[in-house]
């Protein structure tokens, strides 16, 4: 495949690659995403998480900036909060303390702003009603 004419070529079709493509599109006119997997297997690691993302949030008001929630859904659901400290503790636990502390701190602190950025780029989020396994 000729690469002439593309400003940026992103290899992969998972969450990280698609974020890179969206970011590149802010300054580049022509962005190409290449995914080796067949359509039914596309999505990188995101395919195995059913698209679920772990983000820091402070209740339904924060989540309402990302997903459309009816008044009834807000009233009947306890979304709780998920603090940066909880995020960091979970990352340490699931990685058996093998995650880089500085990078994990950035991941936790930037998770909600990144989700907002994705939403502004047209990515649609929905609540994972009853599907949480972590």
- pLDDT tens-place string over residues 11-54: 999 999 999 999 999 999 999 999 999 999 988 888 888 778 89
Which phi and psi angles does 68 have, rounded to 5°?
Answer: -85, 115
pLDDT score for 23: 97
d(CA 80, CA 57): 9
d(CA 80, CA 33): 37
Element (H, E) at 46: none
DSSP letters spanning 74-98: HHH-----B-HHHHHHHHHHHTTT-
Per-domain residue ranges of the chain: 1-50, 53-125
d(CA 47, CA 133): 15
């Amino acid at each position: 495949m000729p690469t002439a004419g593309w400003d940026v070529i992103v290899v992969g079709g998972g969450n990280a690659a698609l974020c890179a493509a969206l970011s590149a599109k802010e300054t580049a006119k022509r962005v190409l995403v290449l995914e080796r997997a067949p359509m039914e297997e596309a999505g990188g690691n995101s395919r195995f998480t059913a698209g679920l993302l772990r983000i820091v949030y402070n209740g339904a008001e924060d989540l309402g900036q990302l997903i459309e929630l009816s008044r009834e859904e807000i009233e009947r659901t306890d979304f709780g909060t998920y603090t940066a400290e909880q995020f960091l503790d979970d990352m340490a636990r699931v990685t058996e303390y093998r995650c880089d502390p500085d990078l994990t701190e950035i991941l936790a602190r930037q998770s909600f702003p990144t989700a907002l950025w994705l939403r502004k780029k047209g990515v649609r989020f929905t609540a994972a009603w009853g599907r949480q396994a972590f």
